[in-house]
Amino acid sequence: MRIIEPHAHMASRTHQDYAAMAAAGIEVVIEPAFWQGTNKKHAGSHFDYFEHISNFEPIRAAEYGIQHFCCIGLNPKECQDKAVVDEVIEGMARWLDGPTCVAVGEIGFDQTDKVEEEVFIRQLLLAEERKMPVLIHTSHIDKRPSVERMVQIIDELGVTQQRILIDHNFEDTIELTLGLEVWAGLTVYPWTKLTPERAVNIIEQYGPDRMIVNGAPDWGYSDPLSVPKTAVEMRKRGFSPQKIHQVVWENPYNMFRQSDNFRIEGGPRA
Ligand SMILES: [Zn+2]
């Protein structure tokens, strides 16, 4: 089975993880820029990090036969220092133009305050202007009202919804997300997000169209094998191989191929 892991913070993971992911069928990894546990105090720290996920991780991944792409953006946890924010957004074009960058992201909400909204909107419009896909993080604090506000903003701005992936949905946000024409991300992550069982319950209830599963493995207690484990759960529940393939390969493939940089050996079929 061919698998895309469309959200993994590999800069926080080891070579053993790459090896295990490859052995489990993961052929493609997409790494969004995110918060590394402490706030970066300088724009240059963001740029060095963008450089790392753009150029170094693809080399590590290739050692295990994995194709590695990245998303470049300013995440909501690092939106409050206006001087740094301005410098990063003004300077990020160099990495957005890079040959391995396939999206703007991850952008979104944490506290869902006015400052985050402004930075979110700036980057959404930047992606629209550049016709790039967008990976959106949803808050872990009061998720539903935060997603309501996000959906309202996306709708009002009139940006291209087919290029947007709203990630980390729960049972209580999936209908809001599917109410737009965006892709819906389900993150299988120990304790704070979904289990494979809960993710498959959602896929069972709403069908596999526009559903994209990821593990979002990072420096926390997380699992780089979440996507293959969810595929196993789908198989146990009697989903056809075609439906499983749609969720773990075709859907993320179709979302990210909207970037010209997303060139995959073998295309959308198994
Ligand atoms: Zn993430």
pLDDT averaged over 10-residue windows placed end to end, the chain, 270 residues: 97 98 98 95 98 98 97 96 97 98 97 97 98 97 96 98 98 98 97 94 98 97 97 98 98 97 76
| Residue 268, pLDDT score | 62
| Residue 119, pLDDT score | 98
Q: How many residues does the chain have?
A: 270
In the reported structure, the alpha carbon of residue 8 is separated from the centroid of ligand 1 by a whole-number distance in angstroms of 7
Residue type for position 79: C
In the reported structure, the alpha carbon of residue 9 is separated from the centroid of ligand 1 by a whole-number distance in angstroms of 7
**159 alpha carbon, distance to own chain's centre:** 18
Question: CA-CA distance, 185 to 173, in Å (whole number)?
Answer: 11
In the reported structure, the alpha carbon of residue 6 is separated from the centroid of ligand 1 by a whole-number distance in angstroms of 10
Question: CA-CA distance, 184 to 164, in Å (whole number)?
Answer: 9
Omega within 30 of 0 (cis) for the link into 106: yes
Q: Does domain 3-256 have CATH number 3.20.20.140?
A: yes
Residues around ion ligand 1, judged by CB within 5 A, are 34, 216
Nearest in space to 115 (alpha carbons), one of 85, 79, 83 = 79
| Residue 269, pLDDT score | 56
Give the max Cα distance, the chain: 53
In the reported structure, the alpha carbon of residue 182 is separated from the centroid of ligand 1 by a whole-number distance in angstroms of 18
List strands edge to edge, sheet with 183-187: 3-5, 26-32, 67-72, 101-108, 134-137, 164-166, 183-187, 211-214
